[in-house]
């Protein structure tokens, strides 16, 4: 096991009815800026529940945060918060709303060019405290210190992190997710699955507990994902998917082990250039990346096939391939095509993706830093 | 899944050499009271490492904290801290040192009878901040808000908790544990194993991720426990046992599921009356409790036998019994006898144990509150 620091101070309040706890969790007397996305929370009643729980608090609002939240729009929220002297941010929504609100939390007290926090990874010295009400299980942003923001002008989609942007609390009420579309649920399950794989499918590191925790999340997603797609109001299934998504990216399974993240990095470019959903890009890239990297990842791929997909028969090469095929089949069954042609992305722009990765100094990628521009092109070619 | 709150703010610094991080973790200018046990940290070099890392800090010392730390001795530390105006506590040792230090942290600013914090579960309104350097993987105390303290005068061994007694940080360097005796390691493995079982072997609660996390810890302990006994300086094996012990009782696997804790409650009386090591009492009580409760726990016992012990053959009753036998065999193989006669505890004092549980209003016990005094006697009779 590698040395590590693990710290996750977010308080999770999980279960039906927990939105009522908001009035205890938000600091007394806070001037709260409520942030949200396209307004689905108004249609599904979550907005009303939140306002009711916070009766008596001073509430401001900033909506319209996009999927893949943009710096340009978020800066309007930053200016609103500064002008109105908000001192607590409450993000109500999915990963994009939460990521965008994390950026705002760091940007509001920032002196200088706020984009530097993202693009130059300059460390904030302060951030507004924030909490979340999660309405879309997927990214794990409700319980980590990461955020991804896109600059619309340049289509730069970049992750940043700071210990100051951990939410103080996150409310996870599975019932708030009943009205999500099948596509949103499928995306969430695939996102959580790939987060887990990025921290697990690398090389053995004498960390059997982390391995088994990762396998626990993967097996549970495989079991509960289709169940929750089939019956959106099955409380148990929705709860389990929600808890898996949080556990997939709260730092736990990645503690002390090598990590990959090449699938995410390549996927971000597909989203930025072609507008694909984040999870769609992961479903496209991952199976092909695993195949291209099958020699590097051989030991863990065999373990994955055996323990997660119960591939017991055949030699290692056979089982390894079965595991990759099972992954692809699972994504497809959840409703996420795994080929670029399903999204009308042609190969004429593969070069542009590599150029952008190079310009950002992101290459080489992977846990061994051996995914070069040639390998990225090979992965994309397989993904046609 | 049941509703739950999960919150664990302790920062974990894991790995060889992490004691050097102390000078960044302890607040600048703090007046530190270093607490420890019988002095093993002086023999194995940990004491010197800690003092070196904290050069320049004002350091006070309070040693001699016993296994099963006593209120009477701890109060001397409380008085020392008050007189010397210590403002940070650093526990260096195992679960007893950490538990004792947690009590001190709450007792130092307490006005009134300090024993009330334990016996009457009165909630502290303040506590001194504390950190730990863990030298014995077992109790999980390094990353939770629980502590067990014994009043020597009455032999009351009682658990209490407060969110204020979470350590701010805990340093887990597996190399500090190389000098532990086989008995200490065996106790630690059994303790972590039984902590996991208390939160897992109850009844199904639609919580497959929590189940699989618990099974992950149990399987890893079964694999790594004998390995670390055989070679105390195998860094990987010792690391894995250490991380399992933390994960077994940091709130994670117990979130949203029913919990038992009857084995611990009965075991505490055996320690208080007969001086057995905590883990020895668990090894004695658990297999017999599982047998007595085999109808209540049937579904989870079968799952446990199948998934943790790979009992695939035979009907449910057969597998269930095999799982219980495997548990007993594992404890014995680790060096923990599972019968009271191995510790010269006779049945003449079984009644006293039940009387004490009744006096403390602890009965009935278990996740269904159906372990009555009769069942406790049945468990003890089987344990002869």
> In CATH, what number is assigned to the domain containing residue A305?
1.20.1090.10
CA–CA gap between residue A365 and residue A372 (Å, rounded): 7
**Between chains, do A12 and B1 touch, taking CB under 8 Å as contact?**
no
pLDDT value of residue B244: 98
Q: Distance (Å) from the C-alpha of residue A96 to the closest C-alpha of chain B?
A: 23
Please indicate, yes or no, whether residues A118 and A34 belong to a single structural domain of this protein.
yes
pLDDT value of residue A157: 87
Angstrom distances, CA of residue B146 to CA of A91, A119, A379, B110, B249: 32, 43, 50, 17, 9
- Residue A345 CB contacts under 8 Å (≥ 6 apart), including other chains: A270, A274, A276
Angstrom distances, CA of residue B264 to CA of A145, A234, A254, A311: 37, 35, 32, 39
Q: Distance (Å) from the C-alpha of residue B374 to the closest C-alpha of chain A?
A: 36
CA–CA gap between residue A357 and residue A364 (Å, rounded): 9
- Residue B313 CB contacts under 8 Å (≥ 6 apart), including other chains: B319
Which residues of chain B neighbour A17 with C-beta distances below 8 Å? Answer: 3
Residue finishing a domain among A128, A144, A176: A176
CA–CA gap between residue A213 and residue A250 (Å, rounded): 12
pLDDT value of residue A76: 98
- C-alpha A111: how far from its chain's center? 28
When CB atoms are compared, the residue of A13, A17, A212 closest to B219 is A212
Assign residue B361 a region: left if phi > 0, alpha if psi is -120 to 50, beta otherwise?
left
pLDDT value of residue A101: 98
Please indicate, yes or no, whether residues A115 and A217 belong to a single structural domain of this protein.
no
What range defines the domain where residue B370 resides? 181-382
Asked if A15 reaches chain B (Cβ–Cβ under 8 Å), the answer is yes
Please indicate, yes or no, whether residues A90 and A129 belong to a single structural domain of this protein.
yes
Q: Distance (Å) from the C-alpha of residue A182 to the closest C-alpha of chain B?
A: 22
When CB atoms are compared, the residue of A11, A252, A256 closest to B7 is A11
Tell whether A311 is covered by a domain. yes
Q: What is the CA radius of gyration of chain A?
A: 20
Here the tokens at position A180 are 């999500």
pLDDT by residue, tens only, chain B of 384 residues: 999 999 999 999 999 999 999 999 999 999 999 999 998 999 999 999 999 999 999 999 999 999 999 999 999 999 999 999 999 999 999 999 999 999 999 999 999 999 999 999 999 999 999 999 999 999 999 999 999 999 999 988 899 999 999 999 999 999 999 999 999 999 999 999 999 999 999 999 999 999 999 999 999 999 999 999 999 999 999 999 999 999 999 999 999 999 999 999 999 999 988 999 999 999 999 999 999 999 999 999 999 999 999 999 999 999 999 999 999 999 999 999 999 988 888 888 899 999 999 998 999 999 999 999 999 999 999 999
Q: Distance (Å) from the C-alpha of residue A256 to the closest C-alpha of chain B?
A: 8
Which residues of chain B neighbour A307 with C-beta distances below 8 Å? Answer: none
Please indicate, yes or no, whether residues B157 and B220 belong to a single structural domain of this protein.
no
Dihedral angle over CA of A321, A323, A328, A334, nearest 10 = 160
CATH of the domain at B55: 3.40.50.1970
CA–CA gap between residue A39 and residue A363 (Å, rounded): 38
Cis peptide leading into A364, omega within 30 of 0? yes
Contact between A130 and A90 under an 8 Å Cβ cutoff? The reply is yes
Structure ipTM: 0.97
Contact between A242 and A225 under an 8 Å Cβ cutoff? The reply is no
pLDDT value of residue B21: 97
Residue finishing a domain among A125, A145, A176: A176
pLDDT value of residue A81: 98
CA–CA gap between residue A156 and residue A149 (Å, rounded): 8
Q: Looking at the 3D structure of chain B, how many domains does it have?
A: 2
Tell whether A6 is covered by a domain. no
Here the tokens at position A63 are 């909506």
Classify residue B122 as exposed, middle or buried by CB count within 10 Å of its CB (0-12, 13-18, 19+). Answer: middle
Please indicate, yes or no, whether residues A93 and A117 belong to a single structural domain of this protein.
yes
Which residues of chain A neighbour B4 with C-beta distances below 8 Å? Answer: 12, 14-15
Contact between A379 and A266 under an 8 Å Cβ cutoff? The reply is yes
CA–CA gap between residue A303 and residue A290 (Å, rounded): 13
Kindly identify which residue of chain B lies nearest to residue A237, measuring between CA atoms: B206
Tell whether A327 is covered by a domain. yes
| Secondary structure (3-state) at B138 | coil
- Residue B124 CB contacts under 8 Å (≥ 6 apart), including other chains: B106, B109, B110, B117, B162, B164, B165
Q: Which of B2, B3, B170, B221 to mutate to test the interface with A (most CBs of A within 10 A)?
A: B3
Here the tokens at position B253 are 């696997």
pLDDT value of residue A286: 98
pLDDT value of residue A118: 96
- C-alpha B321: how far from its chain's center? 27
Dihedral angle over CA of B163, B167, B168, B172, nearest 10 = -150
Tell whether A5 is covered by a domain. no
Which residues of chain B neighbour A216 with C-beta distances below 8 Å? Answer: 209, 212-213, 215-216
Nearest to B262 by CA among B223, B300, B293: B293
Please indicate, yes or no, whether residues A127 and A161 belong to a single structural domain of this protein.
yes
Nearest to B362 by CA among B228, B277, B281, B263: B263
Please indicate, yes or no, whether residues B61 and B90 belong to a single structural domain of this protein.
yes
CA–CA gap between residue B163 and residue B299 (Å, rounded): 34
- Residue A16 CB contacts under 8 Å (≥ 6 apart), including other chains: A173, A174, A175, A235, B3
Tell whether B327 is covered by a domain. yes
Asked if A212 reaches chain B (Cβ–Cβ under 8 Å), the answer is yes
Please indicate, yes or no, whether residues A268 and A149 belong to a single structural domain of this protein.
no
pLDDT value of residue B20: 97
Instruction: Give the helix ranges, DSSP H, for B156-260.
Output: 182-200, 208-230, 235-248
Please indicate, yes or no, whether residues A49 and A170 belong to a single structural domain of this protein.
yes
Asked if B240 reaches chain A (Cβ–Cβ under 8 Å), the answer is yes
Classify residue A109 as exposed, middle or buried by CB count within 10 Å of its CB (0-12, 13-18, 19+). Answer: middle
Tell whether A359 is covered by a domain. yes
Asked if B256 reaches chain A (Cβ–Cβ under 8 Å), the answer is yes
Residue finishing a domain among A125, A154, A176: A176
Q: Position of tokens 């504390």?
A: B130
Low-confidence ranges of chain A (pLDDT < 70): none
Here the tokens at position B92 are 């260096």
B146-151 and B156-161 strand pairing:
antiparallel
Q: Position of tokens 């014994």?
A: B150
Nearest to B271 by CA among B58, B69, B2: B69
Q: What is the mean pLDDT of chain A?
A: 96
- Residue A209 CB contacts under 8 Å (≥ 6 apart), including other chains: B216, B217, B220, B240, B243, B244, B247
pLDDT value of residue A338: 95
pLDDT value of residue B232: 97
Please indicate, yes or no, whether residues A60 and A128 belong to a single structural domain of this protein.
yes
Please indicate, yes or no, whether residues A193 and A169 belong to a single structural domain of this protein.
no
Tell whether B6 is covered by a domain. no
Angstrom distances, CA of residue A178 to CA of A137, A184, A334, B197, B307: 11, 11, 17, 33, 32
CA–CA gap between residue A117 and residue A314 (Å, rounded): 50
Asked if B216 reaches chain A (Cβ–Cβ under 8 Å), the answer is yes
Please indicate, yes or no, whether residues B36 and B107 belong to a single structural domain of this protein.
yes
């Amino acid at each position: 096991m590698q040395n590590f620091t693990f710290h996750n101070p977010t308080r999770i309040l999980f279960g039906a009815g927990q939105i009522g706890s908001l009035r205890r969790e938000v600091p007394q007397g806070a001037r709260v800026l409520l942030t949200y996305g396209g307004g689905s929370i108004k249609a599904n009643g979550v907005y009303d529940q939140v306002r009711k729980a916070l009766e008596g608090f001073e509430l401001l609002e900033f909506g319209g945060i996009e999927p893949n939240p943009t710096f340009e729009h978020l800066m309007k929220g930053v200016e609103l918060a500064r002008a109105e002297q908000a001192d607590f941010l409450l993000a109500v929504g999915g990963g994009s709303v939460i990521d965008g609100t994390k950026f705002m939390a760091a940007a509001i007290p920032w002196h200088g060019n706020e984009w530097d926090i993202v693009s130059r990874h300059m460390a904030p010295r302060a951030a507004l405290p924030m909490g979340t009400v999660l309405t879309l299980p997927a990214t794990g942003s409700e319980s980590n210190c990461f955020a991804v923001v896109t600059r619309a002008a340049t289509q730069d989609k970049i992750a940043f992190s700071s210990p100051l942007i951990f939410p103080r609390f996150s409310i996870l009420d599975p019932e708030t997710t009943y009205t999500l579309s099948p596509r949103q649920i499928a995306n969430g399950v695939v996102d959580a699955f790939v987060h887990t794989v990025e921290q697990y499918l690398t090389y053995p590191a004498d960390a059997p507990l982390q391995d088994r925790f990762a396998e626990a999340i993967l097996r549970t997603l495989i079991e509960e994902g289709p169940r929750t797609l089939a019956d959106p109001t099955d409380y148990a299934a929705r709860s389990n998917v929600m808890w898996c998504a949080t556990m997939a990216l709260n730092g736990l399974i990645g503690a002390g082990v090598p990590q990959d993240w090449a699938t995410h990095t390549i996927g971000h470019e597909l989203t930025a250039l072609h507008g694909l959903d984040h999870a769609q890009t992961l479903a496209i890239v991952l199976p092909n990346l695993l195949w291209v990297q099958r020699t590097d990842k051989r030991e863990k791929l065999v373990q994955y096939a055996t323990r997660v997909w119960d591939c017991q028969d055949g030699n290692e090469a056979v089982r390894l391939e079965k595991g990759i095929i099972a992954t692809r089949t699972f994504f497809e069954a959840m409703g996420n095509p795994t080929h670029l042609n399903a999204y009308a992305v042609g190969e004429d722009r593969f070069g542009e993706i590599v150029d952008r990765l190079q310009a950002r100094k992101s290459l080489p990628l992977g846990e061994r830093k051996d995914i070069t521009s040639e390998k990225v092109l090979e992965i994309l070619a397989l993904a046609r």
